[in-house]
């Protein structure tokens, strides 16, 4: 982004944010989440976003890319930021400083993982911290998941780690992702809950620009009935993947699949069910949805998207008892929705494996790469 094309007020604010980022040794990506940044830096970042919003011809994504080029992270000082499953502190030699027993080792060395240690996509538990897997391994989430499952007293697992990062133990994503979700037993848990909210995220594959193959489930109790919302952020429709679709003569850009149901307290009778396509319109808003937003805070999503319904079913007497099957058919090829209503199965596992490989291929096509240009 040539500086002669940047308005003076924006250029000045970019300089202010870049200077504070270098002072605090903060990456630009961390600002989107407000992680590890001072209040002053976050205020300046919000001002930057406001200025970008005033200039419609300028993309926030491009501005942040340019900022990232301007900021030089000091490798001799701690830089804290989030990976997918855990936050890390990064500094040259930090692992050897923290645990001298690793003196003499090098990044890429194989380290044995205890069968009792907690393990996630990016790391595994070691004493008071987490050791971070080499990025080449952690990029293959399905492989890491299989390796994690294989751990047992009679199976010794060793993996390569990096010596410049160390995982912060109170920041793991496991609780947020409800890793111990038990499929249809969740419905039983809803029947027993005294609270009025229940939120689950499923899916762990992440891609360029912060896009995530994630499905969110949000239950909210109102007037003695559960309102269930499900949103699939990366609908899979086949090999020829696209971030856009159409309904009738209308183009829906950067879309998701969304379902809303109203069911009784026992989750057995359904009074209302509608399925829709949700269009976020611009790549910036689509990335914002993936990176910063959640279904349990629905009002911003309503403002930043438009919804076009594909079907609606109403039954004042709650006569629709097989709404789970309808939902499964609507979210075609989604293993998380299938497991939610029917439990785990070989078919769901096969769907998940196919889904990941097809999405990886689909997102690499020229068509989708053009849709990701800003």
The structural domain count of the chain equals: 3
Q: Does residue 177 belong to any structural domain of this protein? A: no
Q: Does residue 103 belong to any structural domain of this protein? A: yes
Say which residue the tokens 């629905």 belong to: 298
CB count in 10 Å sphere of residue 143: 11
Q: Which domain holds residue 131?
A: 79-171
Same domain for 288 and 264: yes
Same domain for 257 and 296: yes
Same domain for 143 and 107: yes
Quick check: helix, strand or coil at residue 183? coil
Integer Cα distance of 59 and 72 in angstroms: 22
Same domain for 83 and 65: no
Same domain for 198 and 122: no
Tens-binned pLDDT, residue by residue, of the chain (374 aa): 555 577 889 999 999 999 999 999 999 888 877 779 999 999 999 999 899 888 878 888 788 888 989 999 999 999 999 887 789 999 999 999 999 999 988 877 889 998 889 998 889 999 999 999 988 787 666 678 778 877 765 667 889 999 999 999 888 754 333 333 445 556 665 555 545 677 787 775 667 667 888 899 998 888 888 899 999 998 876 667 788 988 877 899 999 999 999 988 877 788 998 999 999 999 999 998 988 889 988 889 999 999 998 888 888 887 777 788 888 888 888 888 888 887 777 877 777 777 777 777 667 777 778 887 75
Same domain for 204 and 92: no
Same domain for 284 and 205: yes
- The pair phi, psi for residue 150, each rounded to 5°, is -75, -15
pTM of the entire predicted model: 0.55
In the chain, which ranges are continuous DSSP H helix?
Answer: 8-24, 28-31, 39-54, 60-70, 94-98, 135-138, 141-150, 185-192, 283-292, 298-304, 323-330, 335-342, 346-363, 366-371
Q: Does residue 216 belong to any structural domain of this protein? A: yes
Same domain for 84 and 64: no
Question: Which residues are paired to 158 by β-bridges?
Answer: 112
Same domain for 264 and 145: no
Quick check: helix, strand or coil at residue 244? coil
């Amino acid at each position: 982004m040539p500086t002669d094309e940047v308005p003076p007020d924006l250029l000045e604010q970019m300089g202010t944010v870049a200077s504070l980022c270098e002072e605090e040794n903060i990456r630009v990506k961390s600002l989107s989440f407000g992680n590890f940044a001072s209040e002053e830096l976050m205020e300046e970042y919000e001002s930057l976003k406001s200025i970008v919003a005033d200039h419609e011809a300028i993309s926030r994504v491009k501005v942040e890319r340019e900022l990232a080029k301007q900021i030089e992270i000091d490798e001799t000082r701690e830089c804290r930021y989030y990976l997918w499953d855990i936050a890390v502190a990064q500094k040259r030699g930090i692992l050897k400083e923290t645990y001298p027993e690793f003196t003499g080792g090098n990044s890429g060395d194989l380290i044995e993982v205890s069968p009792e240690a907690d393990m996630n996509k990016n790391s595994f538990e070691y004493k008071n911290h987490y050791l971070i897997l080499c990025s080449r391994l952690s990029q293959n989430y399905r492989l890491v998941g299989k390796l994690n499952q294989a751990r047992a007293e009679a199976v010794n697992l060793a993996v390569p780690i990096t010596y410049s990062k160390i995982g912060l133990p109170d920041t793991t994503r496991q609780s947020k992702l409800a890793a111990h979700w038990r499929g249809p037993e969740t419905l039983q848990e809803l029947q027993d809950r005294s609270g009025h909210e229940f939120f689950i995220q499923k899916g762990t594959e992440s891609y360029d620009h912060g896009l995530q193959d994630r499905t969110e489930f949000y239950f909210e109790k109102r007037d003695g009935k559960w309102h269930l919302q499900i949103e699939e952020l990366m609908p899979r429709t086949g090999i020829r993947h696209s971030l856009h679709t159409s309904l009738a003569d209308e183009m829906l850009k950067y879309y998701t699949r969304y379902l809303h149901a109203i069911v009784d307290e026992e989750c057995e009778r359904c009074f209302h069910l509608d399925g829709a396509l949700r269009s976020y319109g611009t790549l910036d808003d689509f990335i914002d949805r993936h990176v910063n937003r959640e279904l349990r805070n629905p009002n911003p999503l309503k403002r930043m998207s438009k919804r076009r319904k594909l079907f609606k079913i109403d039954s004042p007497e709650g006569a629709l008892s097989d709404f789970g099957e309808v939902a499964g058919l609507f979210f075609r090829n989604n293993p998380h929705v299938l497991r939610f209503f029917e439990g785990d199965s070989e078919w769901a596992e096969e769907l998940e494996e196919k889904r990941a490989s097809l999405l990886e291929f689909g997102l690499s096509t020229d068509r989708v790469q053009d849709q990701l240009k800003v």
